[in-house]
Amino acid sequence: MKKSLLWASVIAVIWCSFAIADNSKIPQRSDIAAQYKWKLEDIYPDTLAWQADFNRLQSQMGSIGAFEGKLGQSSENLYQCLSLRDSLNNILDRIYVYANLKQDEDTR
């Protein structure tokens, strides 16, 4: 019991020290060399292009349901379904990565 309380106290102290850490030592984005910054434009040139892919993904998600109950009928059906799935997954991956990196940008 005493060990648990001790560990809980240690964790609380460490957590609090991070919460009140001095942020003045963090450089501004403009002070960081370009080679150390990620380039979101390599994924999408701008947010409008991201939004276009997001809308395209939303509109195409339902089309995969058209293959329900038909995958075993022919190899062509299976191939088309898997190709569509892969295509949608590629779009989803790009959307996800861009959104998460955009969220983590320095917004000071």
4: phi > 0 → left, psi -120 to 50 → alpha, else beta; which?
alpha
* pLDDT digits (tens), the chain, 108 positions: 666 766 767 677 677 666 666 666 788 878 889 888 888 999 999 999 999 999 999 999 999 999 999 999 999 999 999 999 999 999 999 999 999 999 888 766
Tell me how long the chain is.
108
Does residue 1 belong to any structural domain of this protein?
no
Does residue 16 belong to any structural domain of this protein?
no
Range of the structural domain that residue 43 is part of: 30-108
Does residue 6 belong to any structural domain of this protein?
no
Does residue 7 belong to any structural domain of this protein?
no
Crossing angle between the packed helical segments 75-103 and 47-61, to the nearest 10 degrees: 150
Q: Which of 63, 102, 58 is nearest to 81 (CA)?
A: 63
User: How many domains does the structure of the chain reveal?
Assistant: 1
Q: What is the pTM of this model?
A: 0.66
